[in-house]
Structure 1
Amino acid sequence: MKNRNNISLIALLVLFFIAQTSCDDMFEPAIDNHKDESELVDMPIWAVGLLGHVYIGNPLDTWQITDVATDNAVTNDRASGLRAMATGSWRANNNPLNRWQNLRSAWNYVNIFLDVADDVEWAADPLVDLMFNDRFKGEAYGLRALLMYHLLLNHAGPGPDGQLLGIPIVTEPENIDSEFNLPRNTFQECIDFLIADAERAMSLLPSLYGDVTDNNNVPEKYREMGVIATVYTRVFGNHSRNRMSGRIAKAIRAQAALLAASPAYSSGSDITWADAANFMADVLGELGSNPIAQIAPDGHRWYADNSAIGNLNEGNNPREILWRSNRANNVDLEREHFPPTLFGTGRVNPSQNFVDAFPMLNGYPIGHSESNYDPNNPYANRDPRLAAYVVLNGSTLGPQSVTVNTAADGPDFNALNRDGNSTRTGYYLRKLLNPAANPNPNSETPGHRYRAFMRYTEFFLGYAEAANEAWGPTGTGAHGYSAYDVVRAIRQRAGIGVNGNDPYLESVMNDTDAMRELIRNERRLELSFENFRFWDLRRWKVDLNEPVMGMRIQGGNYTEIEVEDRAYQDYMYYGPVPFSEVIKFDNLLQNQGW
């Protein structure tokens, strides 16, 4: 008989999951919200509510912009923990990126669920019961893989003897009587565990949820049992979209493989660049036999079409989006990031470093002799993504197309360093903001939005990175397309090149080192302000301390200025285990340097 552990869930969460699962056989909720596992067996709504707790704590469901702790940007928020972290205050007991307790708590909810799932009667119909059990267990395994990936991102690192460590792998539910003084498993063991969980999820879940009207489209394993289309749809239909699916589990496996193959982690696992490329290709294969042809034309501005997002049916995704949050309709981001005269607080200020990373329209980096870059007219003939992602001096913004003057001698509070909400770099953020939204409290106009948890551009660029390292710029492995092919398509989408030509790309197509730098730069631009840069710099083990620069414009003259130094130490390529945990448990080893 399994041990029964006390748990507590809020009734609102239960009611939410009644609507989400659309299962008539999931009985009415109990009169109180304190249940042990023996009761969960007879109350499937409460059991599945355990997974609801994990979904609510999804580590991807945040608008936190970690780019302000890198060379991409600074923040004007003096109280920002990320600003303090980047400028010398990062400690094991002062860590704004600490995910240890929250994600391991969510992990325990998954373990409790898996402990009871096979004993729960999910529906009176045995076939429906089987399919619900498969689905919910598949979700649980996929969610646990997601939690593992983010725990490794935040807390994996070399222990005292240099061996790369992950987290303690716990597979049984924990309660007050459990043994908590556990050693950390190796990074290799954690990656193996993650991949096994992801592949279990893939075996149990459909690649994509959706209604089925033809019995022949029911998956064979269920069709052979006698499941018909309407019954299959009851469990795996449209109502379940944007929950953990087979393709999301594939994506988590690919993300973890890219991490494991990267310079900071490769010594701790047997995952190769070819493995990472193959896993990335598995994700891209969800787009069809020729993924390059399926790159979304507007994927680099997935957030900007207010009407399209507003008309997006619940559960459906545009071609660019693999997984997303529910839609919202508000001015939250605009209120935070618009310049002061547009009723924002200008919190994220892109850096000159970031602006300089955008090539010229002809594709050459601005420092290249063929670029035709003019330092006295620095924003002319640039990559169109620059103006799409950054509010430059003289840009217009908002539904009224207000001109924003960021020059030091500008006429209002949008000017460089004019007050606490003004830009510190000479730039404001445009990316992620809805151009139709207006935070003016006297005429507020909300905008439609969602958080992109995963989008295909990430996996195209992940494939390009891994394929270049495994097979060179033009090698294809078993997939029919190369790193070069991906980069060419991404840059064409952005509008780079003249008359369809990209001479700079052609010049590096046989040079693995030069292609690596180009891929990394494209990743920097395309995934900017979506919480990739901080982790990328660290997994690549490249310089974390490039001073953050800005642009002072005065009297029509352009002068670069230093805005903020970075103060990272070499051991900070890996995050710490929380100090509060290592002082409690002597078997829990801290990462070197912390």
Structure 2
Amino acid sequence: MKKTLFIFGIASTLCFTSCEDMFSPAIENILDIETAYDRPLYAQGLLLNGYTRVPTNSWSFNDVATDNAVTNDRASDYLKIATGQWTAINNPFDQWRNSKSAIQYLNNFLALTDKVQWATTEPVTAMFNDRMKGEAYGLRALFLFHLLQSHAGKSKSGELLGVPIVLEHETLESDFNHPRATFEECMQQIYADLQKAEDLLPLDYEDISSESQIPTKYQSIGINVSDYNRVFGDHFRLRMTRRIAQAIKAKAALQAASPAYSSGNTTTWADAANYAALVIQQKGGIAGIDPQGALFYQSASVNTMNEGRNTAEILWRVDRGDVTSNLEADHFPPTLFGRGRLNPTQNLVDAFPMANGYPISDAANSGYVATAPYDNRDPRLKNYILVNGGTAGVNNTAINTAVNSPTNDGLNKVETSTRTGYYMRKLLRQDVNLNPSSVSGQYHITPRLRMTEIYLAYAEAANEAWGPMGTGIHSFSAYDIIKAIRTRAGVGTTNGDPYLEQVKNDKALMQQLIRNERRLELCFEGFRFWDLRRWNSNFTQPAQGVSIQNNAYTTINVENRVYEPYMQYGPIPYSEILKYNNLEQNNGW
């Protein structure tokens, strides 16, 4: 009996102890927001959350949803939407959750940063506060741009709408049922935030050596060289800067001035050109173009970008991190132990001109030979696309993509083979070895912004604003930019590029050339989908490939593109429309 009572007592004690824990849980490692005031690393975590969410932190390879490429990955969401499965529920281009979450963190940071003790002295605290507020404003503008890119569109009444503008940190008690602002209101908010970022940030993060280099506003509060470098020195090279904010402004303005959006806002082509020109001028004008900028992913450039340093081509990038081989594992052909995921199309291959500058469609001048289609072509073709007979990998292995190839590199041989007759070469380090007996990786660079994008933005906007040879208030024209880019690529260098000279007095032909140069220079970097949309271009061009057999090159249809006209603009997530009756869906979705 005593034994029974003892066991009952233990059981009762355990029961009541468990109940006590259930109703009064132990203190967890969750800090109140006020803790951030005297714990600056905690506060900075809110800001850093924004950096981790930047959509271009990794490659999307959404070219496979366009006429640039297809994929052999049958589970790809981009393949699904390109072939008719794009809905407001299934939307791999969705930025609603990611970018709105980032803005929430940034708003939270902006609400508390003035109260944080960033350093032991007030002057240094003031500098840290300025810098990080500038970063937050720049990032908030960037995320609003991505929201517009993915979700702006026309309502049933035809009004061009943006997204809800939220500038305050939201709590559980907040009203989340916001209506969408107009596209114009969103653009003005982007410009306002970018101006604040420009006012607070340095052009670049580099150590200074003289007190005369300290901005006047910081000299007046007694800042010395050591203190300035502590806040604005080279240790912070990969963070938001004034130069980056200016480039984001050019990027946003280019979209706003484009045909799909121009009727709903006041940004003009001249505005877009002027914003891009400022970034170009600060990089030395046309003379500042990086000779190796088109090959930024190769070892000659990547290996110099240590300790946050950039080449002249890279405006902003992700930390290169550790040596890796994942990119090559996804995209090398099977012979090189890769999965060959992205397959460039014949459409894209045909867009590369001959080395003499003429399009291959110009039978009279180009010199194109259908039985030797890759000879005497624009050098970018073989740099960016692995064609039949091209070499790749550490041993310069010849790749045979023909129908009767003796290897799995051939057309449709196995599930990891090419579906188009081509493999991607751009972005890949050829000195990566995937052989299981001796795998070796390399450093890689993922840019968030490249100067080539800004050069091309200026060329496009300047041509639309002032024509091919017009310069506005600047010293260079659209023609000058395109000539420099084609010269860097090795196009028309032996004959004066007569095709460019032919189109330089025709705005419409120059527009076609600029758009094509943009397609080539930025292929596989996630631009083509957005460009086709903002240009109101045809989305439904079938993706083509090549079947090579007995030295005959036959163009084949590989994959139809199934898009409806209303898909010129993306949807608001269906789940958000169900939750909030003030949100209006884009027409057609």
- 1:331 equivalenced with 2:318 (yes/no): no
Q: Which amino acid aligns with 2:320?
A: R
User: Percent identity of the aligned residues?
Assistant: 53
Please list the CA deviations of residues 245-285 of structure 1 after superposition, one character each: whole Å capped at 9, or x if unmatched.
11111111111100000000001100000000001111112
CA contact (8 A) 1:145 1:197 kept: yes
Displacement of 1:33: 4.5
CA distance in 1, matches of 2:95, 2:494: 48
Matches within 5 A, 1:230-269: 230-269=226-265
CA distance in 2, matches of 1:259, 1:342: 39
Q: Structure 1 residue runs of 4+, over 6 Å off?
A: none
Look up the match of 1:304: 298
Look up the match of 1:149: 145
User: Which of 373, 392, 400 does residue 378 from structure 1 map onto?
Assistant: 373
User: Which of 115, 120, 142 does residue 119 from structure 1 map onto?
Assistant: 115
Displacement of 1:358: 0.3
User: Which of 264, 289, 299 does residue 295 from structure 1 map onto?
Assistant: 289
CA contact (8 A) 2:545 2:555 kept: yes
Please list the CA deviations of residues 519-571 of structure 1 after superposition, one character each: whole Å capped at 9, or x if unmatched.
00000000000000000000000100011110000011110000000001111
CA contact (8 A) 1:492 1:500 kept: no
Alignment partner of 2:443: what SS? strand
- 1:64 equivalenced with 2:94 (yes/no): no
Displacement of 1:499: 2.3
Matches within 5 A, 1:119-198: 119-198=115-194
User: Which of 567, 581, 584 does residue 589 from structure 1 map onto?
Assistant: 584
Displacement of 1:119: 1.3
CA distance in 2, matches of 1:70, 1:294: 32
Q: Which amino acid aligns with 2:305?
A: L
Look up the match of 1:318: 311
Query: Structure 1 length as normaliser, TM-score?
Result: 0.93
CA distance in 2, matches of 1:429, 1:313: 26
User: Which of 511, 517, 527 does residue 516 from structure 1 map onto?
Assistant: 511
CA distance in 1, matches of 2:301, 2:477: 32
Please list the CA deviations of residues 476-512 of structure 1 after superposition, one character each: whole Å capped at 9, or x if unmatched.
0111000000000000000011425100000000100
How many residues are paired up? 561
Alignment partner of 2:453: what SS? helix
User: Which of 20, 44, 47 does residue 48 from structure 1 map onto?
Assistant: 44
User: Which of 448, 456, 480 does residue 453 from structure 1 map onto?
Assistant: 448
CA distance in 2, matches of 1:479, 1:486: 12
CA distance in 1, matches of 2:220, 2:490: 50
Look up the match of 1:434: 429
CA contact (8 A) 1:86 1:567 kept: yes
Structure possessing the higher radius of gyration over alpha carbons: 2
- 1:390 equivalenced with 2:411 (yes/no): no
Provide structure 1 residue ranges, at least 5 long, that are not aligned to the other structure: 1-30
Matches within 5 A, 1:342-353: 342-353=336-347
Look up the match of 1:361: 355
Q: 1:352 to 1:194 in 2, by over 3 A?
A: same
Displacement of 1:319: 0.8
Look up the match of 1:340: 334
Displacement of 1:286: 2.2
Look up the match of 2:70: 74
CA distance in 2, matches of 1:190, 1:32: 40
Alignment partner of 1:461: what SS? helix
Displacement of 1:193: 0.1
Q: Which moved more, 1:465-474 or 1:311-320?
A: 311-320
- 1:202 equivalenced with 2:188 (yes/no): no
Query: Structure 2 length as normaliser, TM-score?
Result: 0.94
- 1:464 equivalenced with 2:459 (yes/no): yes
CA contact (8 A) 2:256 2:267 kept: yes
Q: Which amino acid aligns with 1:316?
A: R
CA distance in 1, matches of 2:220, 2:451: 34
Q: Which amino acid aligns with 1:361?
A: A
Displacement of 1:435: 1.1
Displacement of 1:376: 1.1
Q: 1:284 to 1:308 in 2, by over 3 A?
A: closer
Alignment partner of 1:449: what SS? coil
Look up the match of 1:24: none
Displacement of 1:312: 2.6
CA contact (8 A) 2:487 2:493 kept: no
Look up the match of 1:17: none
CA distance in 2, matches of 1:47, 1:32: 19
